[in-house]
Structure formats: C-alpha cells, structure tokens
Amino acid sequence: MAEKMTGAEMVIQALADQGVEHIFGYPGGAALPIYDAMFQQDQVQHILVRHEQGATHMAEGYARSTGKPGVVLVTSGPGATNAVTGLTDALMDSIPLVCITAQVPTTLIGTDGFQECDTVGITRSCTKHNYLVKNVNDLPRVLHEAFHIATTGRPGPVVIDIPKDIQFAVGEYYKPEIETLRHASYRPQVDGDLKAIEAAVDLMLKAERPIFYTGGGVINAGPEASENLRELAELTGFPVTSTLMGLGAFPASDPQWMGMLGMHGTYEANMAMHDCDVMINIGARFDDRITGRIDAFSPNSRKIHVDIDPSSINKIIRVDVPIVGDCNRVLEEMIRIWRSRTNQPRTEAIAPWWKQIEKWRAVGSLNFKNSDTVIKPQWAIQRLYEATKQQSKEVYITTEVGQHQMWAAQHFHFDKPNHWMTSGGLGTMGYGLPAAVGVQVAHPDALVIDIAGEASVQMTMQEMSTAVQYRLPIKIFILNNERMGMVRQWQDLLHGSRYAHSYSESLPDFVKLAEAYGGRGIRCESPAELDAAIAEMLDYDGPVLFDVIVEKDENCLPMIPSGKPHNEIILPDTANLGSIIDEKGRALV
C-alpha cells in the first residue's frame, strides 16, 4: 500500500491518517515545505498562532478538553525554543502532544546555521520522547509512533524534528502496525495486578476512616474512568477528594465530594487526609503541594496507590498496596471485586467518620468576608459560576496561574471531566488564554472562559489576535488586583511584606486593548454591577476581555504553609471554628 510522496506530504498524510482535524502552528524558513503541502489539502485545518508558546498551550487545551492528542507545528531555532515552555507544561501534567519542529537541512546541522538549534538536545528532558529524522524512509514510522507514544501509558509530549531536506526528499509512505513499531521496549502496563487489587479491596472493606484521593490520572483514563469512580464511590460510600488536576472526575454536586485537597484545599479534605485509616490514591502522584510535610503526611493510614507510571509509586510517599495500571481498568476491577465480596456500602461502619467530616465541613473553610463596596475575587467567581449554570451551552474553564487559579478551583464547581484546564505541575502563567483558544477550536459552540489574573494574562495576551482571527468567542475573566497576588501573599508570609516587584504598574487599559484587537472590552468595579456585566459578557458573540477590579490584598485561604502537616492549615478569619480547634491550632489562624 506504499505510496511515493515527499516528507512534507507524509507529515500531512500521517496527520490525516491519525484523524487530526486541527493543528496549531507558526511558519518559518525551515518549515516551508510542510506549510506548502498543507496549503494543497483540506483535511487538516491549521490555526495560525501569534507565538509558539501559545500554540503549545492551545494544543494542551484542545487535548484536555477532547481526550485526543494536540498537534503543534513550528519552525526551527526560535520556533522550537519558544515551544519549550508548553512542552514542559504538557510533560508535567501528562498531556498528549505531538510537536513537529522543522530543522535546518541535515548538511547544515552542527554548523550554527541560520535558525539552527539543537532541538532534540533541548527538548530531551521536556518530552516523553523525541526524534530527529535523518532519513525520509523513517518518517512514516516515526510520525505514527509519536502518536502512539504520546497517547498511551502515561501521556506526554513527543517532538519530531524534521530537517528541511528530509521534507523535500521523496520516499514511500505507509501506515505501520503498532506491533511493528521500532521500540519493542515501549509496552506500558495497563492491567493492574489482580492480587494487589484484591488486597486493596480487602483493605477498603475493613476501613473505618477511608478516603478516595483522586488525580489527573482518572481524567486521562477517559470518561469511563470518571463513571467508574462515581460507581465505586457510590458502592463504598467513601468520601472523595481530588487534586487540582483531577477536578471534574467526581461531581462537585455529590454529597460525598469534599472539595479539592492540598495547599489551598478545603479544611475537611485535608483533615480527612491526615486522619484517615485507608487512603485510596487513584491517579495522583503525591505532589509536594498535596503532601505538605512528608514525615507528617497522613501518619496513621494504609495507602493504596493506583498509577500507570511505576516511577510515581513510592517516589515521595511509601505506600502499602501499589497497583501499576490504567485507572479505568483498575477501577473496573475494584468494582467487580467489591461486588463479589458484598452488596452493601459500609454506611454504618463509617458513620462516625462522616460525622467527623461534617464537623470539619461546618468550619466553612472557603468562607470569605464579602463587601458591598469592592468586588471580592471569590465572590466574582461564584457569580460567574451561577451565571454559567443558567447557560444551555457546555461550559469549559481554563485558568492562568496564581490566586485566581486557586479561587477558581475552590469556587467554580465541576460535574464533568475534561471541562477544567489548568497548569498544575509546571504552574505556567500565561497558560489559560491560549488554552481557551484551543478548547474553543475543539468545541466551537461551547462557552469557554479563561479565569485570569491581570499579570498572568499579559504573558500570552497576543493570542487574543488568534481568537479574533478565527472568530473564537472566548471570555477572558480577569480578576484584576494590580498585584501578582500569590507572590504578594508569599511575601507577606515569608519575607516581611517586602513587596519586591510583585505589583502590576503601568497596566494597559484592558477595555481599549480588547478593542484594539477587535474584541470587546468590559470593565466592572462595583459589586452591584457585576451580575449585569457578566450577563453582557456571556451574551456577546465574540472574544471578550472582562476586567474585574477586585480587592487588592485578599489572601487565598485556606492554606497549608509549606513545611506544615495537613492539620496545621491556616483558615480564613471568617471560619466557624467552634470547638474544633484547640488553643495551639487557634494560634495559627
């Protein structure tokens, strides 16, 4: 079935054969043959970005909201180096990307040619795998293998570096079978060890203070994994908390939902993690923003850890029952084995535990003092959430990085997976706006909102131009406090409130900026006008920069200071402490 074509044509053909509908890219000298091949076809639609970092985050948003790999095409040299942040972000958050980078001709490699850089050298540590293709006959295999590697096992970004002469060279195109791919060494384990899963269920059956601690692995394992998580939670009656990456896998409207855990997680989730006797970690990786002080992390629990990446297990926290496998397959097995053992949830046995959890819940750790005169950022997100609930459209949320991101995670609630896109592992400011563009490309009829800060959003603001060009009606909801709020909060905590460069001076007029790009700008400064302004934003059929002037020095609470265990969480001064906290705890509040 081999067909003769150029390397550049092979790239387009392989994308089409992989079912790719959209790619995000930016042309340049070394990439021109591929762009020329693209010009002569209509199977793959190209979205022209304004900066290659934007392309990578768009591809991430696209991938996370669809479950399909995001595809990026950039030129050599600066095109490739600009993509590095997004590749690293995708690696940290396990997002499937295929990034095609053009390279100078093979004869020029190593001569410091114009727009040459060592792309495979630079991206080796920020990709799951990468290739430099030096023979056109390797190209079909490499292209298809890249998709296989990016999307299977623990997903991640894969770079294919293609020199310009290889793009021009003619070879035989074929679509290889997975079995004949070169890397026989790459065989991710997807089925969990049955004995270990049985041991896990037996632990769960004896648990008195259990908790499900779920993560991005559940989302990556597909929508069935979320369904199975819901079923297992219902079967067992156990409480469920999730990392930032896993929000939406379990519905926030469910009474078993405890809210997010970790540094800015709820009091009940963190206290339950600390005091539980059986912890069931499904697709999370004991990140340092979750564990707090490691030697004080959940000291009296038996821990079960399900992860598709063997290196995640026992990396940070020693666990009792490790299970290497795909979250969905393991959840299915857990449900089957639980059912074979009992027909009942452990309602009675864990009733005292739920009673304790209700006490913690009653503290109201996400409470804040609202104001009539100034918009509180938490309240703005709550109003946005209420307004979007009335919409008939699917709602997707992306964020930048900082306080607004944590407030969004706390106050915007998700009932479905793949509707929440945020930079968790790398913490990339500037992620949200391009990610929103990527989501909107994949879901043209959906409502896509980037909850942003005025500092983050300026890092990739140029992609507004992309949104306008492709008529993508993204809404950029900027919580403008004229501060890098999270940096300012840390400076209060650790550096004597010396605000070294953590404020935003000479801010642009976001309304005029939106208009300059050809979008719509809306500013809101008064709590009384917020609902109407949000309605105006949602009604506008086009990209909107929505500038909400909020309280400047609000702290993001609750917060577990680094180096502290979960039970030394700092609560807002509005928290209803009652008899929950002793004198020692009160001193921390």
Partner 1 sequence: MNAHLQPTGSAYFLTQETQQTERHTLSVLVDNEPGILARVVGLFSARGYNIESLTVSETEHGRRLSRITVVVIATPKTLVQIKLQLERLVPVHRVHDLTAEGNYVERELALIKVKGTGDHRAETLRLAEAFRAHIIDATVESFVFEVTGKPDKIDSFIALMSPLGLVEVVRTGLAAIGRGAEGM
Choices 123-131, 169-177, 390-398, 470-478 (CB under 8 A): range interacting with partner 1: 123-131
Query: How far is the C-alpha of 242 from the C-alpha of 265, rounded, in Å?
Result: 9
Query: How far is the C-alpha of 166 from the C-alpha of 168, rounded, in Å?
Result: 5
Per the annotation, the verdict on 164 as an active-site residue is: yes
E strands, 433-511, in order? 447-453, 475-480
* Residue closest to 463 by CA, chosen among 398, 517, 421: 517
> From the candidates 52, 268, 463, 551, which is the catalytic residue?
52
* Helix H or strand E segment including 119: helix 119-123
- For the chain, count helices (H), then strands (E): 22, 20
* Among positions 50, 129, 175, 230, the unique one binding partner 1 when judged by CB under 8 A: 129
DSSP annotation string for 154-202: S--EEEEEEEHHHHHSEEEE----GGGSS-TT-----SPPHHHHHHHHH
Residue spans of alpha helices (H) in 26-118: 32-39, 52-66, 78-92
List Cα–Cα distances, 407 to 2, 102, 149, 169, 475, in angstroms.
Answer: 54, 40, 35, 52, 17
493 binds partner 1 (CB under 8 A): yes
498 binds partner 1 (CB under 8 A): no
Query: How far is the C-alpha of 32 from the C-alpha of 512, rounded, in Å?
Result: 36
Q: Which is nearer to partner 1, 295 or 541 (CB)?
A: 295
Per the annotation, the verdict on 114 as an active-site residue is: yes
> From the candidates 68, 128, 164, 303, which is the catalytic residue?
164
Q: What is the DSSP letter of 488?
A: H
Q: Which is nearer to partner 1, 311 or 576 (CB)?
A: 311
* Among positions 185, 373, 392, 579, the unique one binding partner 1 when judged by CB under 8 A: 185
User: Which positions from 133 to 152 touch partner 1 by CB under 8 A, shown as an x/- string?
Assistant: ----------------x---
* Among positions 19, 110, 121, 518, the unique one binding partner 1 when judged by CB under 8 A: 121
Burial (CB < 10 A; 0-12, 13-18, 19+), residue 343, is exposed
CB 62 within 8 A of CB 90: no
552 binds partner 1 (CB under 8 A): no
490 binds partner 1 (CB under 8 A): yes
234 binds partner 1 (CB under 8 A): no
CB 192 within 8 A of CB 324: yes
Choices 79-87, 127-135, 220-228, 517-525 (CB under 8 A): range interacting with partner 1: 127-135
* Among positions 41, 107, 182, 509, the unique one binding partner 1 when judged by CB under 8 A: 182
371 binds partner 1 (CB under 8 A): no
* Among positions 107, 125, 342, 574, the unique one binding partner 1 when judged by CB under 8 A: 125
Q: Which is nearer to partner 1, 5 or 160 (CB)?
A: 160
User: Where in 297-316 is the site for partner 1 (CB under 8 A)?
Assistant: 309-311, 313-315
29 residue type, one letter? G
Counting residues that bind partner 1 (by CB under 8 A) gives 40
> From the candidates 43, 45, 114, 224, which is the catalytic residue?
114
- Residues lying near partner 1 in the complex (CB under 8 A) are found at 120-121, 124-125, 128-129, 132, 149, 182-186, 288, 292-295, 309-311, 313-315, 489-490, 492-494, 497, 553, 555, 561-564, 570, 573, 588-589
Active site residues: 52, 114-115, 164, 486
